[in-house]
Amino acid sequence: MVIARVACRILFGALTVIASVSASEAHLDLPDPLIPGVLMEGAIVVEQAPGNIVSLALPEVAGLQWEQHGTKRTITTVNGVTSESFYFGVTAAELGTLDIPPATVRLSDGTSVSTAPITVMVSHGNAKLVGDAYAEAVFAPDTIVTGESTQLTYRIFVKPGCQVDKGAVSPPADAIRLSEPNAYVRGRSYDESGEAWTSFTTTWQLTWTKPGSYEVGGQQSYLRIAPDGFRRSVRSVAVKPARITVTPPPSEGRPADFAGLIGPVALTASLERSRIAAGEGTAIEVALAGPHVDLARAPELSLPAIVKSYQKETVIRPGGRVFRWDLVPAAPGEYPIPAISTAYFDVASRTYQRASSAPMVLTVLPGRASMLTVSGAPMRVAPSASQPAMVEMLPLRDAAQAVPAPGIAAIAFAVGLGLGGAAALARRIGPLRRAPHRGKALARAISARDLDAVARAIAQLRPELRDARLIQVAQRLQDAVDVARFGHSTVPDDIIASASELESVP
């Protein structure tokens, strides 16, 4: 038993060590890029380590020199994750790309953890970073046609000991913002001496509807803090301006219906109902999708003269725009709807293209009047031979004449007036009736095989449906009834059987 307990403790300890090691993670943090010939600072960062860093085993890399002087380290805890950083010097010999194998970190508990292999660039530092601060604005691309999008990027770089409150650049007033600006992103860059600068970057997606040349620039203010931490001064630096040229789309090959839409664009069209009865209406929906369709206009519809269209409100969706029309045909028939298309300028090929839908057909079925059959010969109803008569009641022999008590006549008269008024009011407003049960009304119409009554019952019932299954059942029944009513056929038995699900709808 003692041996078993000792073995269990040893096994538990081993598993604990393995679990702690597997939970640890180390990575090599080097400047990007490395500046050739400049001693720069790197670090190995270990997270959730079971012990402190004791030593490093850095790999040998041709053209790279490691320098470990002293034991500079920091320990931080963020969101419950503890990290220990061990710093060292690193110098790259020449320009190029370096592949660095894993480095091994030995911990105070006797375990070790390795970093993943990485690749770093060796290049010259940013020659623009001189003085205390540098700011620039850039358009990409810097030449566009009206309606085409471009990205405005604004960057601020400050040297250690300087702070920036907010950016001084915003898009030109004539620009149309296609999206909200990104929040300032903090980064790091290096000057030619290898000193690290802090950068702040934000971007906007823009376009213009008017041709012209536009410029962004100005002055960027920043705060300079003295090494003693007390003396502070506000300074400013000129922003390197950005310029963009906006031209109209080329006139050569421009379609007559081109309205400034920039591609790529995808267009789809659909009918809400492609088969309707005479006297009914439907709707057509045209959807445009693409990065610049926010500025698109409604395409032209080519409809038969007998079909009237009424444009509805446009719906704007992310990356798309939907146009909708109500259609009202004046007579039964088969009405072909040609492909709907719109012209756009494709920025990739710098040519005009068309986005088109597939053609459609609207079928309007002829209607018929609801028929009521009356059998039997007409019969005249003769008036009754007997007429009601008033009979006077004589008093009993030797009986005294009845004399009403004072006030009884007045009370009787008032009661009579009240009853008469109540009867008149009841005849005027009619009896209170309970709303008909829609599901049962549909069931009665189906049982009577009255297709017109079935159609009316479905029309009354459909606004109350919320369940997708019941909506589908009602639609199938409606379509089958329309075909049967106007095609003089019968409704399939399986559809009639499925309609029993609708009987519970109040």
Of 331 and 391, the structure prediction assigns the larger pLDDT to 331
**Residue 163 is assigned to a structural domain of this protein:** yes
* Mean pLDDT estimate for the chain: 81
Same domain, 279 and 344: yes
**How many domains, in total, are found in the chain?**
4
**DSSP result, 147-173:** T--EEEEEEEEE-TTEE--S------T
Q: How many CB atoms lie within 10 A of CB 296?
A: 23
Contacts of 87 (CB under 8 A, 6+ apart): 41, 42, 43, 72, 73
- Strand positions, DSSP E, 48-174: 53-57, 64-67, 73-78, 81-92, 96-100, 104-107, 112-114, 118-122, 133-140, 143-145, 150-158, 162-163
**DSSP result, 290-333:** STTGGGPPPPPP---TTEEEEE---EEETTEEEEEEEEEESS-E
Report the distance separating Cα 200 and Cα 139, nearest Å. 17
- Tokens 């180390």 sit at which residue? 26
Range of the domain at 333: 266-365
**DSSP result, 471-488:** HHHHHHHHHHHHHHHHHT
**HSE-up of residue 252 (Cα within 13 Å, Cβ side):** 2
Q: Which residue, among 325, 302, 303, has the nearest Cα to 314 in the 3D structure?
A: 325
**Residue 387 is assigned to a structural domain of this protein:** no
Count of positions (residues) in the chain? 506
* 420 to 49, 410, 416, 424: CA distances (angstroms): 98, 15, 6, 6
Q: How many CB atoms lie within 10 A of CB 325?
A: 18
pLDDT band per the 50, 70, 90 thresholds, residue 8:
low
Residue 177 is part of a domain; what is its CATH number? 2.60.40
Residues 12, 14, 17, 21: is their CA dihedral positive or negative?
negative
**DSSP result, 190-222:** E-TT--EEEEEEEEEEEE-SS-EEEEEEEEEEE
pLDDT band per the 50, 70, 90 thresholds, residue 418:
low
| Span 136-144, average pLDDT | 95
Instruction: Please say if the pLDDT value at position 88 is more than 80.
Output: yes
Residue 32 is part of a domain; what is its CATH number? 2.60.40.10
Report the distance separating Cα 460 and Cα 464, nearest Å. 8
Same domain, 38 and 114: yes
| Span 219-226, average pLDDT | 87
Question: Quick one: tokens of 381?
Answer: 């109803």
Decide which of 58, 93, 122 is a domain's last residue.
122
Same domain, 230 and 293: no
Instruction: Please say if the pLDDT value at position 202 is more than 70.
Output: yes
What is the structure's pLDDT at 232? 85
| Span 252-275, average pLDDT | 91
Instruction: Please say if the pLDDT value at position 164 is more than 80.
Output: yes
pLDDT band per the 50, 70, 90 thresholds, residue 293:
confident
- φ, ψ (nearest 5 deg) of residue 350: 55, 40
**Residue 155 is assigned to a structural domain of this protein:** yes
Judged by average pLDDT, the poorest of 248-257, 345-354, 358-367, 412-421 is: 412-421
What is the structure's pLDDT at 476? 78
Convert 403-468 into a string of H (helix), E (strand) and C (coil).
CCCCCHHHHHHHHHHHHHHHHHHHHHHCCCCCCCCHHHHHHHHHHCCCHHHHHHHHHHHHHHCCCH
**Residue 239 is assigned to a structural domain of this protein:** yes
Question: Quick one: tokens of 422?
Answer: 């109540």
| Span 122-139, average pLDDT | 93
Contacts of 196 (CB under 8 A, 6+ apart): 31, 160, 188, 189, 190
Judged by average pLDDT, the poorest of 65-69, 131-135, 206-210, 218-222 is: 65-69
Same domain, 295 and 360: yes
Question: Quick one: tokens of 447?
Answer: 């049982």
**Residue 139 is assigned to a structural domain of this protein:** yes
Which 3 state secondary structure label does DSSP give 283? strand
Q: Which residue, among 273, 479, 275, has the nearest Cα to 499 in the 3D structure?
A: 479
Of 492 and 34, the structure prediction assigns the larger pLDDT to 34
Same domain, 40 and 91: yes
pLDDT band per the 50, 70, 90 thresholds, residue 358:
very high
What is the structure's pLDDT at 410? 59
Q: What are the contacts of 232-237 at 24+ separation with CB within 8 A?
A: 235/132, 235/133, 237/131, 237/132, 237/133, 237/134, 237/135
What is the structure's pLDDT at 102? 93
| Span 193-217, average pLDDT | 92
Decide which of 343, 365, 387 is a domain's last residue.
365
| Span 27-49, average pLDDT | 89
Same domain, 178 and 279: no
Same domain, 160 and 222: yes
Q: Which residue, among 246, 262, 239, 32, has the nearest Cα to 138 in the 3D structure?
A: 239
Decide which of 122, 156, 182 is a domain's last residue.
122
Question: Quick one: tokens of 106?
Answer: 């030995």
Of 318 and 174, the structure prediction assigns the larger pLDDT to 174
pLDDT band per the 50, 70, 90 thresholds, residue 20:
very low
**Residue 411 is assigned to a structural domain of this protein:** no
Same domain, 144 and 67: no
Judged by average pLDDT, the poorest of 225-234, 308-317, 378-387, 471-480 is: 378-387
pTM for this one? 0.54
Same domain, 141 and 237: yes
Instruction: Please say if the pLDDT value at position 430 is more than 70.
Output: no
| Span 194-198, average pLDDT | 91
Of 384 and 26, the structure prediction assigns the larger pLDDT to 26
